[in-house]
Amino acid sequence: MLEDTIAAIATPLGEGGLAVLRISGPRALEVADRCFVPAGKIGVKPSAAPTHTLHYGHIERDGLAIEEVLLAVLRAPRTFTREDTVEISCHGGLLAAKAVLDTVLASGARLAHPGEFTKRAFLNGRLDLAQAEAVADVIHARTELALAAAQEQLAGKLSTRVGQLRDELMHILAHLEAHLDFPDEDIAPDTRAQLIQRLDRGRAFIDELLRTAGEGQILRRGLRAAIVGRPNTGKSSLLNQLLGHERAIVSPLPGTTRDTIEETANIRGLPVVFIDTAGLRESQDLIEREGIRRSHEALARAELILHVLDASAWLTDQDGAYLHELAGRKHILVCNKVDLPRKLVLSAPTAAPVIEVSCLTGQGIEALKDAIKRQVWTGEIRLDALPVMINARHQAALQRARSATQQTLESLRADRSLELAAMDLRIAVNCVGEIVGKTTTEDLLDSIFSQFCLGK
């Protein structure tokens, strides 16, 4: 794969001031020579240009000028992929950028696969696997905290901690295997105790990393919060208040929301995907019934539920049924319309937070945002904790590493065969290595990089 020269548009498709096309590989400069014509008497072809220089000219095909461009020459190894790279800036727009890309492909490059530039950066040793994943996290970050966490991981902060853990486990494994080479010499009791102590510290460190998984995943993909309740309790008005703009149609007529509406908001630094649902009730309207069915699906997938009640109305049997149904779920009771005369009385105490709001005046919305944050994030959001927040793949690898480390500990404590202890510890080392790409498979790499956008 690394013998190919690849090309793709690196900027989002659509209309804009500029579009950037990236070429990378051993023949990147040769491909650029075939389609770039420098302007002026002193202009030079890309292959003759010094590294990290910018050149003005035109992309030509069959003697015809296709587009006016600026072309950057970046020679290996001081590039993103550590390969010769050419970046072409042209006018934004689908047709202009596609015309340049088609010309580059006709000149000898092939279209890059999703994430292939970053994959080459990993394969060429510029980034480890955790850093490569952080590139996608930077692109998709939806809050400043999410961006800060991604940039810290891209800088290698998580990789450093994981590398220290792997090195420690490797040293213990080397000690065990050294004794296996001399089976007549058993491990001295004090030496065995020291190994157990070191393994205990390694397991504790794994536990420390695992504790960051939930919060790390919230920063990366957002928290799914469903807004549910009877019709006309103010669910759509609440969505608009939380977003800070009019997104959902608000009407006094019941059944206005016929489908789920999803929008992301920054709530105290956390990306929260709010899902406005159709009012939960029995309906004969086929379209409304489909919306209610989708509401139940959204409710099942949600990680947090905002159950909206009408504070100006008496508690109904339907409200009570939903209170009972949601008792085992992480949820917040939102009592809306507190600007009107109060009628609502909760029939029994609830463990869920109860927040009183008025979607008409905005009263209580800031308190609700605080409650949402408290439900999903323990304590303060500390910037010094962001560098080591793991994702779902890291979590799975660390869970396997912890299990194998625990098996090693049990073998050493029970004075079992060192072969068993070494085998389990080798599994732990490989699992930790998966995080930074020390131990990988082609399927794993394909799975990770296929989630990247084209041109990255």
* Amino acid (1-letter code) at residue 386: L
The stretch 189-215 carries a mean pLDDT of 86
Pick the residue with more confidence: 31 or 1? 31
- Say what the pLDDT of residue 160 is: 92
CA distance 442 to 427: 19
- Say what the pLDDT of residue 255 is: 46
- Say what the pLDDT of residue 291 is: 60
Q: What is the pLDDT of residues 285-333, one digit of tens each?
A: 555 556 666 667 777 778 888 999 888 888 888 888 778 877 878 889 9
Tokens linked to 93: 């727009």
CA distance 277 to 298: 8
The stretch 398-414 carries a mean pLDDT of 93
The answer to whether 214 and 375 have CB atoms below 8 angstroms apart is no
The stretch 351-379 carries a mean pLDDT of 87
**Which of 231-240, 305-314, 393-402 has maximum average pLDDT?**
393-402
Pick the residue with more confidence: 10 or 289? 10
**Domains in the chain and their CATH numbers?**
6-112 (3.30.1360.120), 131-212+398-449 (1.20.120.430), 220-376 (3.40.50.300)
Q: What is the pLDDT of residues 248-278, one digit of tens each?
A: 544 454 444 445 678 888 888 788 888 887 6
- Say what the pLDDT of residue 199 is: 93
The stretch 225-252 carries a mean pLDDT of 76
Residue 429 pLDDT > 90, yes or no? yes
The answer to whether 353 and 177 have CB atoms below 8 angstroms apart is no
* Dihedral pair phi/psi, residue 79, rounded to 5°: -140, 170
- Say what the pLDDT of residue 258 is: 43
Pick the residue with more confidence: 89 or 451? 89
Cα→Cα distances 303→38, 230, 270, 275, 435, Å = 56, 20, 14, 11, 26
* Helical axes 129-140 vs 144-154, angle rounded to 10°: 160
Displacement of CA 440 from its chain's centroid (Å): 20
Question: Which stretch of 21-35, 169-183, 246-260, 381-395 has the lowest confidence by average pLDDT?
Answer: 246-260
Pick the residue with more confidence: 391 or 38? 38
- Say what the pLDDT of residue 253 is: 44
Nearest CA to 292 out of 302, 280, 306 is that of 280
Residue 45 pLDDT > 70, yes or no? yes
| 444 confidence band (pLDDT: 50, 70, 90) | confident
- Say what the pLDDT of residue 141 is: 84
The answer to whether 276 and 303 have CB atoms below 8 angstroms apart is no
Displacement of CA 340 from its chain's centroid (Å): 42
- Say what the pLDDT of residue 188 is: 65
CA distance 273 to 232: 22
* Dihedral pair phi/psi, residue 258, rounded to 5°: -100, -10
Pick the residue with more confidence: 449 or 125? 125
The stretch 432-444 carries a mean pLDDT of 86
- Say what the pLDDT of residue 285 is: 52
Pick the residue with more confidence: 183 or 454? 454
H/E run at residue 320: helix 317-325
The answer to whether 105 and 4 have CB atoms below 8 angstroms apart is no
Residue 227 pLDDT > 50, yes or no? yes
Residue 397 pLDDT > 90, yes or no? yes
DSSP string, 108-131: T-EEPPTTHHHHHHHHTTSS-HHH
In the sheet with 36-38, reading across from the earlier edge strand, the strands are 36-38, 53-61, 64-74, 85-91, 18-24, 6-9, 110-111
Nearest 5°: CA angle at 88, between 84 and 89? Answer: 150
Question: Which stretch of 64-73, 208-217, 221-230, 379-388 has the lowest confidence by average pLDDT?
Answer: 379-388
Peptide bond into 77 cis (omega under 30): yes
Please provide the average confidence, as pLDDT, over all residues in the chain. Answer: 85
* Percentage of residues of the chain with pLDDT beyond 70: 87
DSSP string, 161-218: HHHHHHHHHHHHHHHHHHHHTSTTSPPPHHHHHHHHHHHHHHHHHHHHHHTTHHHHHH
* Amino acid (1-letter code) at residue 55: H
| 386 confidence band (pLDDT: 50, 70, 90) | low
Tokens linked to 349: 């105490």
The answer to whether 159 and 130 have CB atoms below 8 angstroms apart is yes
- Say what the pLDDT of residue 318 is: 80
Residue 367 pLDDT > 70, yes or no? yes
Q: What is the pTM of this model?
A: 0.76
